Every structure is written in C-alpha cells, then in structure tokens.
Structure 1
C-alpha cells in the first residue's frame, strides 16, 4: 500500500525536524483514500452521518509512534524511517473532527493527544480515555482529552457506544477481549498482551523499550492496512481476513 510520507516527499533532502506532515482534511490524498475505504466497510447511512456531516470539518491524524520521542530514546534517523515505512500507510491514520463550522476554534482531539500534557500521542492511551469518556465522561482525568471529547460530543453521538466507534474506524486490533492493549508493556511478537489500566502518557526513554513500543504499534497498523487493502481489491467481508483474537503472525514483525 502507498506510503503517504515516503512516497510523496524526498525526506532525505529535508532536515529531520522539518519533514512535512501528510495529514489533512478533505482534498488531501490520505484523507480521501481513508474516507473512501471507510465508506466501503460501513453502511452508507452511517458513513454519511460520521464523515459527510456539513457541520464538521474533519482531518486525518497519525496513529504511529512520535518521531520526537523516538529520537530522544536513541533511535537513529534510519531506524525512524524504517518504522515510518509501516506507520505512514493508510492503516496508520484515523479521522477526528478538527472544527465545527459554527465554532472554528474548539480545542481538538489531535491537539489534546500531543505532548506530556496530553498522552505523548499514544494511540492506546487515547482509546483508553475515549472508552472511559463513553462510559462516564467525568471519569477522564486528562483534562485536555476530556475537554476535546466533550467539545465534539455531537459528533460522537453518531456512535452507539465505544464498540461502535471502534468498529466504524476498524480499530479492533488495538483491543483484546474488549480491553485496550498496552502498547508499551506488551510484547506482541511473543503474544504477551498486557491490558492498559490507566490513562498512561509515558513512553519509554530507552532505545530497547521504545523499539518494542514501535514493533507493537507496527504490527497492529500492518493488520489494519491489510484490512483496507482487501477493500481496495473489492473483496467482500474484508474484516474476516484478520483474527478477532490477536494471534502472532510472523509477517507483522518483518522489516
């Protein structure tokens, strides 16, 4: 599948800190491709409610490990590019509301996820907070996340519950037995699955720990990209092509 960073930009000619961000709204390649794929794996009426509602302006968001924290943990630019080969494919992105037509400056989920004040861009912790918010909005302790979810409650009202949200965006692989997988403490290469039990924003400071975090995220993004690739091929019941319960697949951990 296409890589929306490496296939579109000559990053070897651009300083590391100035690499472009391929994420964007309607009209950008990643947004249009992802929304097309989601339109094929959801009922039309549901898709229209979530992603064709003129009240909202939506944008893609990257699900992969932060380059900033990878560099701080000791990964080289070459090692970062290696994991971006996976994470910047279609499965490494989702869509959030960016603003409402009537309220253009609302604090966004994308803003709230970033940095230590948020969740260090960890997708597992983001989903954990969202699950908490769906169950009881007052239970979310990360104030930025709580505020951003509440800002877009009308958008989230399109989903029956957290499970419905997960199903719509094809994020099932980030869960095991209805629990969010802790992508820092787990080691999916040996089927070690640790459930996330708190709004953890920490990322590993050591290279080995961060690389394991990367490997876990990559494995799940590969699975999600595979799902979307089946829809692109026009196959029906594409979701049946991945295991409902996580099982180790050697190809998920290949470079």
Structure 2
C-alpha cells in the first residue's frame, strides 16, 4: 500500500544524497502528483505528468497540459525559510546570534515536509520565476504569508505588490483557479487566511506595514514569532493535506507522525 506521510523528510530521499529535494526527491515529485490531481473550477483535471521534453525542462520537472497547444511546466519549492544561511541584512544576523542553543536546534535546518512544499510555474521567457522572485526580493524574503498577499492582490487587481510583474507574467497560471479563494482551497492555504479573507501575517505589524518594511525578521523576538508561525502553518497545512488524501484516496495509508 502506498504511504502518504506528512512527517516524512524529503532531505532523506534524494538521489544522489545531499541534493536539493525539489529537483532530486522522487517521493516529493510523486506526492505533488498525488496532491494536485484534482478538478479545476471549470471541470478540467489538473494532472501533473513527468516532462517528456527534456530540451524544454529537465525530466524531473512536472508538466500540466491544458490543451494540446497550451501547457505549463512547474517546479517544486519549499515555501518556508529559517534564514539559517542568510548572511544579511545585519539585523537578521544579529537576531539569530541572540538565540539560545535550544532555539537554534528548533529553528535552524528543520526537516523538509510536505506542508512546506509548493509548485510554481516556470518559463524561460518569464524570468524571474515566482520561486526566484519571492526568495530574492527583500520585501518578501521567502515568506509565504507575504507571497500569498501578493497573489491576493493579483486576483483583486490591487496595487502595491512587490511581485506584481511576476504574477502578471504568470497570470495564465492563476487563471486556472479563477479566484483567490479557490486558489487558497486548491493548495491548502486556508490557515494563512482569516475568515474575512485577509492574510494572517506571521508578524502582527505586517497588517499595517505590509511591504513598507523588510520581509525578514530584524529582532530576536520577530525571528521567533516568524518561525513559530511558520512551523504552526506547516503542521496545519500538512494535516489539511492528510485529510484530503484520506477523503479522496482511501487506498493510500496516511501517516501523521
């Protein structure tokens, strides 16, 4: 029987060992294919297949064929970040240095589990990709709550998003899901959205100061709050995924610990 394990660490499943799971974990690729195989709003099945066009993307990437003339390549991405190897800005480095050894063990180098995994579209004519831009642009700093706010603004056609150029370039991907609410439900992001449809930011200040400050935490207290919120989100999202698999794939054994 196939197993879907929300606690499995994809860092343990790379060939050769030590490589990036987003490119080299067969199990992560299979779990992406499992989780995202479901109907889109217009009834079409969103089904990811291994690319058979290696000159376009490497074979370990996945593709969705919308029509014979329209297809998407997608790559895997870890959507949370402990900033363990970030050497700037200075305030972040100093904040990490103030952590206790116990806190460093908790926050640095966490396992890469399915709750932290996402797919994003990739096109060589549209660079940077969303994966790259959200990691490189300091107003986002690889935070999924801030990324989701950019996606919400894209659907709502609201200004002020640091990723507006990228979400526009990949607007056809977001059109697959029709609305922000359906995008959130499809990818199990409900725990980052309030009942009023606003983003539940990792830092309380972000609701008023969103995108006017750095996305990275700049004090020890902020670092801890961001990491605790991130860990909580990963756990909640993983359990949502497990619930969905139990409901839709009763032939698969679901493990939560």
Count residues with an aligned counterpart: 214
Measured after TM superposition, the shift of residue 166 of structure 1 is 0.7
2:223 to 183, 207, 210: 210
Any residues of structure 2 matched to 1:1-255 within 5 Å, and which? 1-5=7-11, 7-8=12-13, 20-24=19-23, 28-39=26-37, 45-48=44-47, 52-53=64-65, 55-65=71-81, 66-69=83-86, 72=93, 73-74=95-96, 75=99, 79=103, 82-83=106-107, 88-99=112-123, 103-104=124-125, 106-136=127-157, 139-142=159-162, 145-177=163-195, 178-185=197-204, 195=207, 198-199=210-211, 201-232=214-245, 234-236=246-248
Q: Mark the runs of 5 or more structure 2 residues left unpaired by the alignment.
A: 1-6, 49-61, 251-257
C-alpha separation in 2, matches of 1:173 and 1:81: 25
- Structure label with greater radius of gyration: 2
Q: What TM-score does the superposition give when structure 2 sets the normalisation length? A: 0.69
Richer in helix (by share) = 1
C-alpha separation in 2, matches of 1:33 and 1:121: 22
Residue range with higher mean Cα deviation, 71-80 or 205-214? 71-80
Q: Mark the runs of 5 or more structure 1 residues left unpaired by the alignment.
A: 187-193, 239-255
1:96 is paired with a residue whose SS is: strand
Change in Cα spacing, 1:63 to 1:41, as seen in structure 2 (3 Å) is farther
CA displacement 1:7-62 (0-9 Å, x = unmatched): 347xxxx9xxxx7432238x743232123122268787242499622621101111
2:145 is paired with a residue whose SS is: helix
C-alpha separation in 2, matches of 1:237 and 1:172: 21
Q: What TM-score does the superposition give when structure 1 sets the normalisation length? A: 0.69
Alpha carbon RMSD of aligned pairs, Å? 3.5
C-alpha separation in 1, matches of 2:167 and 2:130: 7
Q: 1:247 matched to which residue of 2? A: none
